[in-house]
Structure 1
Amino acid sequence: MDLRSVQRPLKKRYREEPGSSKVTLSARASRQETPVSCSVDIGRAVYAAEAHAGVGGSGQTACSGDLLLGALAACAQLTCQMVAENMGLDARRIEVGVEGDLDLAGTMGISEEVSVGFERIRVGFEVDAPGATEEELAALREKTERYCVVMQTLLDPPRIETRWG
C-alpha cells in the first residue's frame, strides 16, 4: 500500500476546504442483562463491556479501562506504523503495549483521597527498524507522539459536557 498516494488527495482537500477535515465520532452504550454489563455501539461494530472484577464484574469481558487502554494502544500502533511508512522507514516490526494503574478504592467510594481513574499510564513501543538511524528513530517517536489522537487527548483533555434526559 502506498500510504502517501492514499493520503495525498485527503490532504489536498483539507487544505483547499478547511472545514472538510472535521469529523464527529460517536459511541452509544446500552444496558444488557445485569447492572455490571453493557454493549457499546460505535456504528461499525458493537462491543461487550463489563465492570472490572474488582468492582463486581465477572472479569471475563473488557472493562471500560481496558477499552480506554486498548484505544490508546491501537491509536499509537496505527500512528507509528503510518509515520514510519511516510518516513520511508523499513520497520520490520512495530508493537505497542499499554498499561495503566488505578486504585479501585476511588471508584468504589472507599476513600475520598484516592482519585477515581488512572493514576499512571505507560505506553511502550518496540520498533525493529535495523536500517534506521538514531535521528530517524527520534523523529519517528516525536511524530508518533504528536499525531496520536488518543494520546494527545489524554495529555490535553477536552472539556466534557454532559446532558441528562
Structure 2
Amino acid sequence: MNVRRLQRPLKERYRREPGSSRVTLRARGSEADTPLSCSVDIGRAVYEAGAHTGVGGTGSAACSGDLLLGALAACAQITCQMVASAMEIPTRSIEAVAEGDLDLAGTLGLSEEVPVGFQEIRLTLNVDAPEASEEQLEGLKEKTERYCVVMQTLKGAPRLSVAWETG
C-alpha cells in the first residue's frame, strides 16, 4: 500500500480548505447491568469496559486504564507503520507495547498523598527492519513520536472541560 498516494488527496483538500482537517471523535459510556461495568460506543463499534479487579471489578472486560494504554499502543503502532511505509522503510514487523503504573489507593480514596491515575507510562516500539539504515531508523523514530496523536496528547495534557447535565 502506498500511504503517500493514499494521503495525497486528503492533504491537498486540507491545504485548500484548512477547516476541513478538523475532526471531532466521540465515545459514549453507558450504564450496564452493574455499577462496575459499562459499554463504550465509539460510533463504529461498542466495547464492554469494567472496573479493574483492584477496585472490585470482575476482570472480565478491559478497564479504563487498559483502554488508555491500548489507545496509545494502537496509535503508536499504526503511526510507526504508516511512517515506515511513507519513508519506504522495509519492515518485517512493528509492535508497540504500552505499560503503566498506578496506585489504586488513590483511586479508592485511601490516601490524599497518592495521586489518582497513572504515575508513569512506558511505551516500547519493537521494529524489525534489518535493511533500514541508522538514518532511516532515526527518521522513523522522530516522525512516529511527532505524529502519534495519543502520545502527543498524553505528553501535552490538553484542555479538558467537564459538563454535568442532570435531570
| Fold shared per TM-score above 0.5 | yes
Q: Which runs of 5+ in 1 are unaligned?
A: none
Matching of residue 23 in structure 1 with residue 28 in structure 2 = no
CA distance in 1, matches of 2:140, 2:56: 41
The amino acid of 1:36's aligned partner reads: L
CA distance in 2, matches of 1:108, 1:139: 43
Matching of residue 72 in structure 1 with residue 68 in structure 2 = no
Give the 3-state SS of the residue equivalent to 1:131 in structure 2: coil
With structure 1 as the length reference, what TM-score do the two structures score? 0.99
CA distance in 1, matches of 2:92, 2:32: 42
CA distance in 2, matches of 1:142, 1:17: 28
Question: Cα RMSD over matched residues?
Answer: 0.5
The amino acid of 2:94's aligned partner reads: I
Give the 3-state SS of the residue equivalent to 1:98 in structure 2: strand
Q: Which runs of 5+ in 2 are unaligned?
A: none
With structure 2 as the length reference, what TM-score do the two structures score? 0.98
Give the 3-state SS of the residue equivalent to 1:125 in structure 2: strand
- How many residue pairs end up in the alignment? 165
The amino acid of 2:87's aligned partner reads: M
Deviation at 1:135, TM superposition (A): 1.2
Query: Map of 1:1-165 to 2, 5 A cutoff?
Result: 1-165=1-165
The amino acid of 1:74's aligned partner reads: A
- 1:45-70: per-residue Cα shift (whole Å, max 9, x none)? 00000000000100111000000000
- 1:84-134: per-residue Cα shift (whole Å, max 9, x none)? 000000011101101000000000000110000000000001111111111
Give the 3-state SS of the residue equivalent to 1:132 in structure 2: coil
